[in-house]
A and B are shown apart, each in its own frame.
Chain A
Amino acid sequence: MKPIFPVAVITFKEGIRNRAVYGIIILSLLMLTANFLICEIIMREVGKVAVDIALSTVSFSGLLLVLFVGINLMAKDLDKKTIYMVLARPISRTHYIVGKFLGMVALIIVSNVIQGCFAAASVFMLNSMYPAYFQRFSWMMFILALVFIVLSLTLLSALSFLFASITSTSFITLVLTVVSYLIGNSLSDVKALVEAPKAAGIDPSPVTIKVVQTAYYIFPNLSFFDIKIQAAHGLMLSFPFICWTTLYGLVYTAIIITLTCAIFAKREFP
Chain B
Amino acid sequence: MNNSVTSTLRVAWASLRILLVLTVVCGVIYPLVVTGIAQGLFHGKANGSEVKVDGTVVGSELIGQSWNIKGTKTPDPTWFQGRPSNSGYDPLATGSSQLGANDPTLVKNVRAARKQVAEFNGVPESEVPKDAVTGSASAIDPGISPAYAEIQVKRVAERNRLTAAQVERLVQDNTTGRTVGFLGEPSVNVLKLNIAVKELATK
A and B associate in one complex: no
A→B interface (CB under 8 Å):
none
Residues of B within 8 A of A (CB): none
